[in-house]
Amino acid sequence: MARVALVTGGMGGLGEAVCIKLAALGYKVVTTYSPGNKKADSWLSQMKEQGYDFKAYPCDVSDYDSAQACIAQVQQEVGPIDVLVNNAGITRDMTFKKMDKPNWDAVMKTNLDSVFNMTKPVCDGMVERGWGRIINISSVNGQKGAFGQTNYSAAKAGMHGFSKALAYEVARKGVTVNTISPGYIGTKMVMDIPSEVLETKIIPQIPMGRLGKPEEVAGLVAYLSSEEAAFVTGANIAINGGQHMQ
């Protein structure tokens, strides 16, 4: 029976690439989208035309009750979740001097609280079945920090602390928990950065001299979701073109 993979924030950009890659490998793929997103149906139709029969459910990942309800519906209608990719995220960039509480809270809730909210209702089931993969999509800026991103960098760094601690707890139960920290990937969010900034400030910092491709990150997600990755847990894998090396 095909395993079920749930990708949060899978409509577009990196999440879409992950959905496509996992589906191509035979997973039943489910994604979430923000309640009120009027483009969900058209996205599903576009994907179906390309041969991908994804399921999609509205979910406010920053809200615990919404996440609980979403997971319950997925498990009832699709099946137990074997792979969870915590990909949903937002930015609210500004210097700390200008940072206000609402913009701090919005990023922490969507980028970090969501990891707890979505993982909590699926982890016990993975442990009971003796198999599971939890993959948290962090960022190079969670590793090295970034000007104007105290909220984002803190949330993304927190994701890996969560991964390491939970990895300890479930390691003997066949469940792995890992973090991926992409650098600058050619998604809509990155391409919205003014081209002058990209070309003069960001790309020169990348030894490979280019942005990453969503498909490259999706390939790493696919590996961590596989049987072959059973001995990889508590890791934070950088995929940033050499921009930040540890």
Total count of domains within the chain? 1
pLDDT at 243: 94
Tell whether 150 is covered by a domain: yes
pTM of the model: 0.96
Residue whose entry in the numeric block shows the structure tokens 């997925």: 74
- How many angstroms separate the CA atoms of 105 and 216, rounded? 31
CATH classification of the domain holding 206: 3.40.50.720
Q: Catalytic annotation on 152?
A: yes
Tell whether 244 is covered by a domain: no
- How many angstroms separate the CA atoms of 95 and 111, rounded? 18
Tell whether 243 is covered by a domain: no
pLDDT at 98: 97
Tell whether 246 is covered by a domain: no
pLDDT at 134: 98
Q: What is the mean pLDDT of residues 59-66?
A: 97
Radius of gyration of the chain (CA): 17
pLDDT at 193: 85
- Spatial strand order in the sheet of 236-239: 55-58, 28-33, 4-7, 83-86, 132-137, 175-182, 236-239
Q: How confident is the model at residue 138 (pLDDT cuts 50, 70, 90)?
A: very high
Q: How confident is the model at residue 38 (pLDDT cuts 50, 70, 90)?
A: confident
82-108 confidence digits (pLDDT tens): 999 999 999 999 999 999 999 999 999
Q: What is the mean pLDDT of residues 181-198?
A: 89
In this structure, what DSSP letter does residue 228 have?
G
Tell whether 32 is covered by a domain: yes
Domain that holds residue 83: 4-238
Q: Is residue 150 pLDDT above 90, yes or no? A: yes
Alpha carbons within 13 A on the beta-carbon side of 59: 30
pLDDT at 36: 84
Portion of the chain with pLDDT greater than 90, in percent: 91
Q: What is the mean pLDDT of residues 139-149?
A: 92
What is the residue-averaged pLDDT of the chain?
96
Q: Is residue 177 pLDDT above 80, yes or no? A: yes
C-alpha distances (whole Å) from 170 to each of 39, 109, 150, 232 are: 37, 24, 31, 12
Q: How confident is the model at residue 129 (pLDDT cuts 50, 70, 90)?
A: very high
Tell whether 203 is covered by a domain: yes
Helix/strand/coil percentages in the chain, nearest 5:
50, 15, 35
Q: What is the mean pLDDT of residues 150-165?
A: 98
Tell whether 189 is covered by a domain: yes
Q: Is residue 192 pLDDT above 90, yes or no? A: no
pLDDT at 24: 94
- How many angstroms separate the CA atoms of 199 and 195, rounded? 6
pLDDT at 191: 84
Catalytic residue among 33, 57, 152, 184: 152
- How many angstroms separate the CA atoms of 221 and 180, rounded? 8
How far, rounded to the nearest angstrom, does the alpha carbon of residue 78 sit from its chain's CA centroid?
20
